[in-house]
Amino acid sequence: MDIILNIGLDTLTNGLAYAILALGVFISFRVLNFADMTTEGTYVLGMSSSVLFIAAGVPAVIATVLSIFVGMIAGFITGILHTKLHINGLLAGIITMTGLFTINMILLGIANSCVTNQEFSFLYGLTSNVSLTNSGYRGIFHIFRGFYESNVDFSNVLKYWIIGISFVITLIVFVSMYFFFGTEVGMSMRAVGMNPKMARAQGINSDFYIILGLMLSNGLIALSASLKAQSINSGSTLFGPGMLVVGLACIIIGEAIFGKRSFLNWIISVALGSLVYYLIISIALELGLPSDYLKLLYALIMVLILTLSFVNSKTHFFDKLKRKLSKRRISEEEILAAEAHEDIKESDIPLVVEDEVMLEVSGLTKIFNPTGNPNDVKVALDHINLKIKKGEFVTIIGGNGSGKSTFFNTVSGTYIPDDGYIQINGHDVTKYKEHKKAKYIGRVAQDPYQGTAPDMSILENMNIAKRRPRRRTLLWGFKRSDTESYKEMVSNLGLGLEKRLTSKIGLLSGGQRQSITLLMATLEKPDILFLDEHTAALDPKTARKVLTLTDKIVRENHLTTVMVTHNMRDAIKYGNRLLMFNNGHIIYDVSGEEKQKLTVEDLLQKFEDVDFSDKDILVAKETERVDNKN
């Protein structure tokens, strides 16, 4: 019984602190999809800074908060190295971790001088240890010590205080993080981790959210380390190595056993995985495993869990078990039923073109490899001049390398032009970055999987799109009024998705995802809607439905639209104006009745010297065949 009690107490004492560590690692590795190696340096930094502050006479609660801020500074440095200096994320974390080694030695040296009252000195050994046990300084777990009489042995109840206070702090942290990731800022951060391209297209500054996420991650890691240091009344550089493996092991164990059906379930699984992880460690220690072998045990546990994850990917054992335990799951029948969506009727609303110029480019030039080998220099856009009026629906065609996609990416901000200017609705946006141009531009990319965050629900994706032109806040991201309007909009698509707003968007087919992406791009009416071959990755039947839906939305909302396509027949059928690109120039500009009279054969005969690919011609023929069949 004593063994079971000891195992239980050790599991709770250390598992709760490691749960905060695991949550910090979870934010960087899972939410941001960023392999942050700063963890091991930050963990020792949290210990050393809290010990230093307490040894200097700072109250324990304030010292704990300060250690969090110190950890956030470490994350900020890694984020700046990656986003602003463009250093690889893995290398940026290693650089910060390496620098923190010396900083931690210095901090522990200062703390040691405070504790022993010796002359100030730095400690430059392989390891450094500082103990507060006999110094008279106390950590956060001793704040209730005064409630006990002097004849009571406080050490007998200290472990229960450690568990109780750790539980309260851990609960506060996890609840706070759950609500944070439900805010507009939190959902935007999750979107950046899942799909940075989609996030930037929705007006999200991905660099800012990467830095913020790394600061949160390392702040939590430092908090975990601070609690650990105060529970054992000491700090040491020995604790750093292996902490990243501990955090990852807790996450993987939690995911494998408890799943990640929703974000709430996911972060709860991180906490429970930490307890399971340290339960294994506690049992090993009770069975007599020397503490010097713990690092080896960490590694063996990781190998075991990763092996089980691989086996599960082949047998789906845990997946089947979680589906049985799940109260609400999406059945295969539901998915198949949603695939059989209704045909979308074409809109009979006419295009309304006004005299006001919505998009104007002048002298637009983009050159790739301008300073490299002359044979590698590519003039993708050569002084393009173009005006598009408000309400126009312009289609762009051209062969491979003609410049049409470069034009799209330059105007939308993926590339910065080498010359010329871009004006949208009277605003000079030439030098704007991609996320800033999203205020004016709604975009749908060629790949259906680029336009959404797969592990977020339809509702969450639409909430992100709703705030594209505005600044994100810490307000809760879900509003009842918005949800009702989203349901109505989705139901108008005729895809049967209005009953699945809380389903992960990654479960949808390509056509369904592209339809939702189109809805997201036009949710807040943009000045210009850019469609970059948005049906190219779809089968012909689905492509027809998405194009019909596109035309319907454009006409009903009177959107100024630019559609890049390989399909010459679609370029002729849709819109009121057609542009042809070749070698970085616009070589053909036709609109009105003249455009409507065009045929694919006319274009091929008119521009025999233009290098259209076989794909362009075959896609047009296939489209014509499907249309005739329907």
Q: Is residue 206 within 8 Å of 32, Cβ to Cβ? A: no
Residue 614: pLDDT over 70:
no
Q: With residue 317 as reference, give the H or E element that holds it.
A: helix 317-325
Please say if the pLDDT value at position 428 is more than 50: yes
Confidence of residue 58 (pLDDT cuts 50, 70, 90): confident
For 340-350, what is each residue's pLDDT tens digit? 445 567 777 88
The two three-digit tokens of residue 201, written as one number: 């297209």
Average pLDDT value for residue range 117-144: 52
248 is written with which tokens? 């990852």
pLDDT of 427 above 90: yes
Q: What is the structure's pLDDT at 320?
A: 53
Q: What angle do CA 20, 251, 64 make, to 5 degrees?
A: 10
- Tell me how far apart the alpha carbons of residues 56 and 58 are, in angstroms, rounded to a whole number: 6
**Residues of the chain with pLDDT > 70: what percent?**
81
Structure tokens at 578: 């057609």
Query: Could you tell me the pLDDT band of residue 113, with boundaries at 50, 70 and 90?
Result: low
What is the mean pLDDT of the segment spanning 461-489?
86
DSSP-based three-state secondary structure for 587: strand
- The whole-number pLDDT of residue 332 equals 41
Q: What is the model's pLDDT at position 625?
A: 55
pLDDT class of 617 with cuts at 50, 70, 90 = low
Amino acid 151: pLDDT:
47
Q: Whose CA is closest to 166, among 21, 30, 7, 27?
A: 21
Q: For residue 20, what pLDDT band results from cuts at 50, 70 and 90?
A: very high
Q: What is the pLDDT of residue 538?
A: 87
Mind listing the pLDDT tens digit for each residue in 213-272? 999 999 999 999 999 888 877 677 677 778 888 898 899 889 888 888 888 999 999 999
> Which residue, chain included where needed, has tokens 């239980």?
8
| CA distance linking residue 49 with residue 63, whole number of Å | 8
C-alpha dihedral (22, 24, 30, 35), degrees to nearest 10: -100
pLDDT of residue 611: 63
From the list 387, 425, 391, the residue with the least C-alpha distance to 556 is: 391
Strands 561-564 and 393-398, by their bridges, are parallel
What average pLDDT score do residues 390-404 get? 91
Average pLDDT, the chain: 83
Q: Report the distance separating Cα 19 and Cα 149, nearest Å.
A: 33
Residues 506, 448 contacting (CB under 8 angstroms): no
- Percent of the chain residues past pLDDT 90, beyond the cut: 45
Distance CA 146, CA 162 (A): 16
Distances (CA, A) of 418 to 41, 405, 605: 42, 16, 34
Mean pLDDT of 450-478: 89
Flag whether pLDDT at 516 surpasses 70: yes
Tell me the three state secondary structure of residue 99: helix
Query: Which residue blocks in 259-293 are alpha helix, DSSP H?
Result: 263-286
Average of per-residue pLDDT across 376-382 = 90
Q: Tell me the C-alpha to C-alpha distance, in Å, between residue 293 and each of 61, 140, 208, 297, 340.
A: 33, 30, 41, 6, 58
Higher model confidence: residue 447 or residue 211?
A: 211
pTM of the predicted structure, to 2 decimals: 0.85
CA 536 to CA 22: how far, in whole Å? 41
Cβ–Cβ < 8 Å for 530, 562: yes
Answer yes or no: is pLDDT of 446 > 80: yes
Q: Which of 347, 341, 357 is nearest to 554 (CA)?
A: 347
The highest-confidence range among 86-95, 471-480, 595-604, by mean pLDDT, is 86-95
Burial of 628 (0-12, 13-18, 19+ CB in 10 A): exposed
Residue type, 193: G
Place of tokens 């390989």: 566
Q: Give the range among 183-197, 548-562, 600-614 with minimum mean pLDDT.
A: 600-614
Please report, for residues 261, 262, 323, 500, 579, the alpha-carbon distance to residue 329 in angstroms, rounded to integers and kept in the order given: 9, 11, 7, 11, 47
Q: What is the mean pLDDT of residues 83-100?
A: 94
- Quote the tokens at residue 52: 């230093």
Structure tokens at 85: 């200096």
Looking only at the bridges linking them, the beta strands covering 419-424 and 577-582 are unpaired
Cα separation, 421 vs 359, in Å, equals 11
pLDDT-derived band of residue 599, with 50, 70 and 90 as boundaries? Answer: confident
Go through the domains of the chain in sequence order and give each one's CATH number: 2-140+155-325 (1.10.3470), 357-629 (3.40.50.300)
Q: Which of 18-22, 46-50, 232-236 bottoms out in mean pLDDT, i.e. has the lowest?
A: 232-236
Angstrom distance (rounded) from CA 254 to CA 260:
9
Angle at 241 between CA 68 and CA 170, to 5 degrees: 35
Report the C-alpha gap between 404 and 231 in whole angstroms.
63
Phi-psi region of 503 (alpha: psi -120 to 50; beta: other; left: phi over 0): beta
pLDDT confidence of residue 143:
65
CA distance to 70, 347, 361, 537, 624, per residue, from 541 (Å):
56, 18, 35, 12, 11
C-beta separation of 286 from 6 below 8 A: yes
Q: What is the model's pLDDT at position 299?
A: 75
For residue 285, give the 3-state DSSP assignment: helix
Which of the pair, 477 or 594, is modelled with greater confidence? 594
Per-residue pLDDT, averaged over 261-290, amounts to 85
Give the residue ranges of DSSP H helices in 31-154.
39-55, 60-83, 89-116
Output the 3-class SS for 188-231. HHHHHHHCHHHHHHCCCCHHHHHHHHHHHHHHHHHHHHHHHHHH
pLDDT at residue 325 tops 50:
no
